[in-house]
Amino acid sequence: MSIEILSLAGFIIAIILGSIRSDINTGIISIALAFGIGFYAAGFSIYEISSFFPSELFLILVGITLMFYMAKDNGTLEKITRFAIWLTKGKSYLIPILLFALASILSAIGAGNIAAVAIIAPIGMPIAYKFKINPLLSSIMICTGANAGTFSPISPTGIINQSLMKGIGIEDSSLWFEIFLLTLILQSLAAIAAYFLFKGYKKQDHIDHDKHLNHLHLRSPPKDNS
């Protein structure tokens, strides 16, 4: 069996195991299979196999991911999101736009599209439901927003994109920016189309803004009485 077929089979095995077993890390399985296939099938030395590991890319991704998960776990990102939604003052037609903007900004500044959805969706979807916004529209706005920022030069996907482009000899940094900009434009157009298709601009019946926000623990910031 050729090394190409073995590599593809190992990749498929890693994905399947990672999908059916939540307690197994797909990355660790992939590294183990890569060493096994490289050493026993391809005849590489341990040093040669280790040299293939993208240590610079790995450290960048780990650092950015660690920073954002710390911000998520200590409640910083959640508080920012809640405060931004509070600023809509019960205007239902602004909430889909806000969900798109929040997801795209978080994704672009380093969280990435998957983490941005994981941060925004648990807060944005219940709020959209309470404000009688089409749940499909809310989902589309969050997902398109997250994808809009995914090719930012400091997001995980953008970093991987730059690394792959460098690997094939493309060093033009303006091209990386063009990819990010075009992705942002296309995802924004999709969000705009969904906004009008699902009538996100349509005002809902009068909603007790403070009542619903309090129910969702989105209370107004305390007033400064000093």
The single-letter code of the amino acid at 53 is F
Kindly give the residue spans of alpha helices, DSSP state H, lying in 131-172: 135-148, 156-167
Assess contact for 137 and 198: CB atoms under 8 A.
yes
Q: What does the pLDDT look like over 22-61, one tens digit per residue?
A: 788 888 888 888 888 888 888 888 888 888 887 777 777 7
Q: Which of the four pLDDT bands, split at 50, 70 and 90, describes residue 222?
A: very low
User: How far is the first Cα of the chain from the last one, in angstroms, to the nearest whole number?
Assistant: 77
How far lies 35's CA from each of 46, 53, 122, 148, 213, in Å? 8, 11, 39, 36, 53
Average the pLDDT over 80-98 and give the result: 78
- What is the mean predicted confidence (pLDDT) over 171-192? 88
Amino acid making up residue 195: Y
Query: Which of 6-20, 55-69, 208-222 is least confident?
Result: 208-222
Q: Is the pLDDT of residue 199 over 60?
A: yes
Give the C-alpha separation, 127 to 165, whole Å.
40
Task: Tell me the C-alpha distance between 173 and 191, whole Å.
Answer: 27
Dist. CA 19–CA 90, nearest whole Å = 40
Residue 97: how many other CB atoms lie within 10 Å:
18
Question: What does the pLDDT read at residue 115?
Answer: 79
pLDDT above 60 for 219: no
Cα dihedral value 148, 19, 123, 180, nearest 10: -10
* pLDDT above 90: percentage of residues in the chain: 14
Tokens, residue 13: 């095995």
